[in-house]
Amino acid sequence: MRAFTDSPMNATAFSSVAVQPVAIARPTLLRNAMIALGVVALHAGFIWTLQSGLRMRTETLLVTAEVLSQFVDPPVPRVAAPAPALPVSPSPRRPPAPSAQKKAIVKVPLQLQPPSLTVAAPTPALDTPLADGPPPLSSAPAAAIAGPAPASLARPPALQQPSSNADYLQNPKPAYPPQSERLGETGKVVYKVWIGPDGKAEHAELVTSSGFLRLDKAAYETVMRWRYVPGRRNGVAETMPFNVPINWELRN
């Protein structure tokens, strides 16, 4: 170690080795400073460009808005000059119609005029032949027209209703349904039966129900099986409706 420091050659070599790091460090710091300054300059330029661009855009938008407002202004409406008024010609006055005075003048002589003798003169002339001579010929047709009315208008048509009470019909009594009799079912049934000219039932319609289906059915079979006296109009038999009641009663 000592031999190394004492020689002059070794001292020079040691000094060169010690100074080399200092010489290398200076260019590196300078380069870093230049890079930092460049980055700051770029940022400053970008910010300035951005602000100037926004300012120009704001001014452009403001100018455009002003121009558009000038085009949107509505046109001033033109006021049309009023048309000259046409002269109104006075309507001609109509002369008053001679109504009241002339009518009064016409009615006065009619009211004051005495009745004419020509109207009263034929009256005794008509009375004289009626008292002495035969009746006039014109009275005969009037008497014929005012003669007795026909028989069809004077008398209503004779109407005979159907019936089921004739003795010769020999209609059997309705058979009481056994189940209804056992259950004690009672009631009244009314059927409207259309009876033909031959006295037979053509069809029937229920008018009043007993409240029990078995009793209504038994009554229907009974009225359709019975025979009837047909209804007649002016002596002629024809189909007519007839209400047939059937009472279902239980007797002890």
pLDDT at 12: 44
Dihedral angle sign, alpha carbons of residues 14, 17, 23, 29: negative
Specify the pLDDT at position 165. 77
- DSSP reduced 3-state for 91: coil
- Report d(CA 171, CA 227) in Å as an integer: 7
Distance from C-alpha of 135 to C-alpha of 212, rounded to nearest angstrom: 79
Beta bridge partner(s), residue 193: 204, 242
Instruction: Give the type of residue at 186.
Output: T
**Signed CA dihedral, 211, 215, 221, 223: sign only:** negative
The reported pLDDT for the residue numbered 121 is 46
Cβ contact 214:151 at 8 Å: no
In the chain (252 residues long), the average pLDDT of successive 10-residue segments reads: 43 44 64 88 85 59 44 60 61 57 47 46 45 49 48 67 79 93 95 95 95 96 94 92 94 76
Residue 158 makes CB contacts below 8 A (sequence gap 6+) with 232, 233, 234, 235
Q: What is the reported pLDDT for 229?
A: 92
Report the C-alpha gap between 9 and 28 in whole angstroms: 30
Provide the pLDDT for residue 18.
45
